[in-house]
Amino acid sequence: MRLPLIIACLVTASPALAASLTVTFQDGAPKDRFTIVHDGSCAAAPTHLVIDLGTAPAGLIFDTTGAGAGVEVFQPLEWVTGSARTSAVTDGDTALTLSLDRIAPGETLAFTIDIDDTTSARQITVDGSEMAGASLRMAGTEAVFDASGRARIDLPACTS
């Protein structure tokens, strides 16, 4: 009896590399600041990142004009490090979508804008604890800001 000759090939896939974005909120007067850092080990493909203030209990809004629901000072969105396409931000909006191009490991993006709360206290400044509960959404994944004003969201794994 003859046995068939079997040639085995082992195929080893490249391990998926970790990729994530850390978004930090820093209160300031008159401008609040969001800093986005790609702290992964590979370039991230283009994606959309949604910052949703509406999930925070403090009733946070973007205050971009003097005629809206905000308190006293207002500031439109302004990129200070890097840039991305953004959805239109109307005064009183609670969500903002950033269209991010390919992001390299270690790359940082930052923008300023004014955020106010709409609770009965009607604060002109918003701190990290008021940001707690606001969320990030991207590619079917969600992360929530903690009391320090920081949220980390995983990017889809990459292989190069």
Length of the chain (residues):
160
Give the pLDDT of residue 116.
87
Nearest partner of 35 among 79, 71, 92, judged by Cα: 79
Give the pLDDT of residue 120.
58
Give the pLDDT of residue 33.
96
DSSP state of 130: H
pLDDT at 152 over 70: yes
Per-residue tokens: 93: 């909006």
DSSP state of 113: E
Please report the beta strands in the chain, taking only residues with DSSP state E, as ranges in sequence order: 20-26, 32-38, 47-52, 60-62, 78-81, 85-86, 95-100, 108-113, 115-117, 135-138, 141-144, 150-154
Nearest partner of 29 among 57, 65, 71, 66, judged by Cα: 71
HSE of 69, CA atoms in CB hemisphere, 13 A: 15
Q: What is the mean pLDDT of residues 86-90?
A: 91
User: With contact defined as beta carbons under 8 Å apart, do 12 and 27 qualify?
Assistant: no
pLDDT tens-digit series, residues 43-70:
888 889 999 999 998 889 998 987 766 6
Q: What is the mean pLDDT of residues 127-146?
A: 90
Report which secondary-structure segment, H or E, holds 126.
none
User: With contact defined as beta carbons under 8 Å apart, do 96 and 89 qualify?
Assistant: yes
pLDDT at 11 over 70: no
The reported pTM is 0.83
Per-residue tokens: 71: 């308190």
pLDDT at 154 over 90: no
